[in-house]
Copies of this chain bind each other. A is one copy, B any other.
Amino acid sequence: MTYTPRIAMIGAGAVGGYYGGRLAQHGHDVHFLLRSEYDAWRTNGVRVKSIDGDFTVAAKGLHVYNDPAAMPKMDLVIVTLKSTENKFLQPLVTPLLHEKTTILALQNGLGNEQAAAQFFGADRIIGGIAFTCINRIEPGVIEHIDYGHIRIGEFARAGKSERLEQIAAIFNASKVRAQAIDDLKLGRWDKQVWNIPFNGLGALLDATTDRLLADESGTNLVLAIMQEVLEAAALDGVQLAPDLPEQKIGMTRTMGAYRTSTQIDRRLRKPMEIESIFGIPVHIARRNGQHLRLLEMLYFALRQVDLVASDKIA
């Protein structure tokens, strides 16, 4: 193996635990920064039930920490924090950086690379888009239910860099399909076309994807929301294919009763990724003098749900 980086997983929830676990399982030097999971992992390791094969990383083979100051310098820092936790980026990541450390924001929605770039400089940053369904079952136990591939792209420049190819290669050698992409921004917006209607309506209505597409009125609503995402993307300088909404809906019909991460967050009363998925597109449109009505409504509605759920209001 030519590229043998020392890797940190920051925010090893379900996503970080799964992808970091795969890398550790395949012999990589992975260091996990944990919070609520720390005791469970240190004692029992991590156990993953996966459609791509179950595995366990025993406690004695794991590098786990609950304090970034105790960690060595890293070659690659993979951030899997929820975007709502980006306010902790600076204290969590700064202690891990040497001059050439690369930071991979393997997170949902928009603005994550920008958040990292403002603290650590744009050149270090690459972005990752995960297409997967992974849940934490209990401390130290993760369930990988479906999909799993990731796309990674450079943040500050177009095209496939050597480090992208190297990182994709170590994932591909670790049972995770990974692809270096030329245009991260395009990839992020492409994902948004799916996430905004399905995560948004799914969370608002506690509805799985199949229910949202069960009749013509739901399908038309999803299409109309996707159309607004295309408009937001265009205002952000990204031209998506006009038939992308139809494609995404066709693909979604093959997924059965899929529950999005935002729907699950709402059910569990955990913070929803409202700003990164819904807020940023609305703000981009507003800055351009546009009101994308359905996105505005979804954004407003989810913030209201969040206010109620978090007991910020009676």
Residues in chain A within 8 A of chain B (CB atoms): 201, 204-207, 211, 217-218, 220-221, 224, 291, 293-294, 296-297, 299-301, 304-305, 308, 313
- The verdict on A218 contacting B291 (CB below 8 Å), with A206-B308, A308-B205, A313-B211 known, is no
Contact of A300 among B218, B296, B301, B305 (CB under 8 A): B218
Total copies of the chain: 2
Please, could you name 10 A-B residue pairs with CB atoms under 8 Å apart, sorted by A? A204-B301, A205-B301, A207-B308, A217-B296, A217-B300, A218-B300, A220-B291, A224-B293, A293-B293, A294-B294
CA distance A221 to B293 in the complex (A): 8
Is there an interface contact between B293 and A207, defined as CB atoms closer than 8 Å? no
Q: Please name the residue on chain B nearest to A227 by beta carbon.
A: B293
Name the B residues within 8 Å of A217 (CB-CB): 296, 299-300
Q: Please name the residue on chain B nearest to A222 by beta carbon.
A: B300
User: In whole Å, how far is A134's beta carbon from the nearest beta carbon of chain B?
Assistant: 23
Is there an interface contact between B204 and A296, defined as CB atoms closer than 8 Å? no
Is there an interface contact between A221 and B304, defined as CB atoms closer than 8 Å? no
Q: Please name the residue on chain B nearest to A221 by beta carbon.
A: B300
Name the B residues within 8 Å of A204 (CB-CB): 204, 301
User: In whole Å, how far is A43's beta carbon from the nearest beta carbon of chain B?
Assistant: 37
User: In whole Å, how far is A216's beta carbon from the nearest beta carbon of chain B?
Assistant: 10
Is there an interface contact between A296 and B220, defined as CB atoms closer than 8 Å? yes
A294-B294, A294-B297 are known; give 15 further A-B pairs, CB within 8 A.
Answer: A201-B301, A204-B204, A204-B301, A205-B301, A205-B304, A205-B305, A205-B308, A211-B304, A217-B299, A218-B304, A220-B291, A221-B296, A221-B300, A293-B293, A297-B297
